[in-house]
């Protein structure tokens, strides 16, 4: 049996030295050291040896196994190193080839506009807060004093997930969530995405961005709202811009107003941008309705507040004279690169 073990060792070593691939080495390993390998078969026959012969044969068998395992490891390492060197040789770089031009990215015009709006209000002391895009009917309509028969509640205007869950149609629900979670004084803006069942065209999109604002404190009046939005308009469109408030209706504010600014393009004389009127509508605003304050747990005998909301796309379209809202979402780099 000893001679057979030495024969197995010599045969295996010769085969290992001749092997040129990992597959060949693996076959050798299985042939000699596998469960049904030649060395294993010899070891199974040790039961036929005498008690005196077994220790010596067992020692030799272990030595043969150890030698073969070491030789196999060396052979595998040599092949791995050879493959590594061949790969490095194939991947050698030609440093004389001209490099590829690296194109620098730029912020999307909507991001630029949102950042500018946010910065203006933060400089006035407003904090940024956010809320879920998937809302409940309570926060999106009921808590905002919207009557049951309000058109925006209709399934043709709003994306409903279930009878009580929907994609928010405005960021106003964040105002109610803030009123319920914070005690006055409150001074926040809430930027975010909104969703409505609009057919995409030059001025409508089923997904758009809004920035809502809310300020609640003692002694807040309409003059505070007008002063805040006047400062905002001057910082956004230029110091020469004037603001105008027109009566309007929103269920969550009373009184309510649409806010116009003098056309920043023509200065109010009339042009294509303002359609000859000299004024451009930019947002809606008003004093927070007492029902909304009460729903948020605010004492209306002590506190009052104002709210406002604007579409980021509309502001960007006006400021950059973009005539089709769909351009913002087509991801055409020729369009986006104009706003570097």
- Of the given ranges (21-35, 278-292, 307-321), which has the lowest mean pLDDT? 21-35
Mean pLDDT of the chain: 88
Cβ distance 285 to 292 under 8 Å? no
Residue 259 domain flag? yes
Residues in the chain: 340
Cβ distance 60 to 42 under 8 Å? no
45 in the same domain as 123: no
Look up tokens 């990992």; give the residue. 22
Q: Per residue in 44-58, pLDDT tens?
A: 666 666 666 767 767
291 in the same domain as 191: yes
Question: What is the percentage of the chain residues whose pLDDT exceeds 90?
Answer: 51
Q: Per residue in 163-178, pLDDT tens?
A: 999 999 999 999 999 9
Cross-strand bridge partners of residue 194: 208
16 has a pLDDT exceeding 80: yes
pTM higher than 0.75: no
Cβ distance 282 to 261 under 8 Å? yes
CB 133: neighbour CB atoms within 10 A?
A: 14
Which among 293, 282, 292, 309 has a CA at the least distance from the CA of 168? 309
Which among 206, 132, 134, 142 has a CA at the least distance from the CA of 166? 134
| Count of the separate structural domains present in the chain | 2
pLDDT at residue 49, as a whole number: 65
- Cα–Cα distance between 152 and 142 in angstroms, integer? 12
35 in the same domain as 176: no
- Cα–Cα distance between 81 and 83 in angstroms, integer? 5
121 in the same domain as 27: no
Residue 98 domain flag? no
43 in the same domain as 116: no
Residue 304 domain flag? yes
The per-type count for the chain, helices as H runs and strands as E runs, is 11, 9
Cα–Cα–Cα angle for 184, 134, 182, rounded to 5 degrees: 10
Hey, what are 283's tokens? 């947002």
pLDDT at residue 96, as a whole number: 84
Pairing label, strands 279-288, 134-136: unpaired
Residue 19 domain flag? yes
pLDDT range class, residue 190, cuts 50, 70, 90: very high
121 in the same domain as 38: no
- Cα–Cα distance between 8 and 120 in angstroms, integer? 84
pLDDT at residue 246, as a whole number: 94
Which among 325, 326, 237, 225 has a CA at the least distance from the CA of 284? 225
pLDDT at residue 151, as a whole number: 87
147 conformational bin, left if phi > 0, alpha if psi -120 to 50, beta if neither: beta
221 in the same domain as 129: yes
- Cα–Cα distance between 264 and 210 in angstroms, integer? 21
215 in the same domain as 161: yes
131 has a pLDDT exceeding 80: yes
Range of 25-34, 62-71, 108-117 with top mean pLDDT: 108-117
């Amino acid at each position: 049996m000893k001679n057979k073990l030495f024969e197995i060792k010599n045969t295996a070593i010769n085969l290992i030295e001749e092997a040129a691939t990992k597959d060949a080495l693996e076959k050798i390993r299985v042939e000699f050291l596998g469960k049904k390998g030649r060395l294993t078969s010899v070891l199974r026959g040790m039961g036929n040896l005498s008690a005196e012969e077994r220790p010596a044969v067992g020692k030799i068998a272990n030595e043969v196994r150890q030698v073969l395992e070491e030789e196999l490891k060396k052979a595998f390492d040599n092949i791995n190193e050879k493959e590594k060197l061949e790969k490095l040789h194939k991947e050698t770089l030609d440093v004389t080839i001209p490099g590829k031009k690296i194109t620098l990215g730029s912020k999307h015009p909507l991001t630029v506009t949102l950042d500018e709006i946010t910065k203006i209000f933060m400089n006035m002391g407003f904090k940024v807060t956010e809320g879920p895009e998937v809302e409940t009917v309570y926060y999106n309509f009921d808590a905002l004093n919207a009557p049951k028969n309000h058109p925006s509640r209709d399934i043709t205007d709003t994306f409903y997930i279930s009878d009580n869950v929907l994609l928010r149609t405005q960021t106003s629900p964040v105002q109610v969530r803030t009123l319920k979670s914070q005690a006055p004084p409150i001074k926040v803006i809430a930027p975010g995405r909104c969703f409505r069942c609009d057919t995409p065209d030059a001025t409508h999109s089923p997904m758009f961005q809004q920035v809502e604002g809310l300020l609640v404190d003692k002694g807040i009046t309409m003059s505070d709202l007008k002063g805040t939005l006047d400062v905002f308009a001057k910082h956004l469109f230029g110091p020469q811009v004037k603001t105008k408030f027109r009566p309007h209706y929103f269920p969550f504010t009373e009184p309510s107003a649409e806010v116009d600014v003098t056309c920043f393009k023509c200065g109010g004389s009339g042009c294509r941008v303002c359609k000859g009127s000299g004024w451009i509508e930019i947002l809606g605003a008003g004093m927070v309705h007492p029902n909304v304050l009460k729903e948020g747990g605010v004492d209306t005998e002590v506190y009052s507040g104002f709210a406002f909301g604007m579409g980021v796309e509309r502001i960007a379209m006006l400021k950059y004279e973009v005539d089709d809202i769909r351009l913002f979402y087509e991801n055409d780099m020729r369009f986006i690169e104009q706003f570097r």
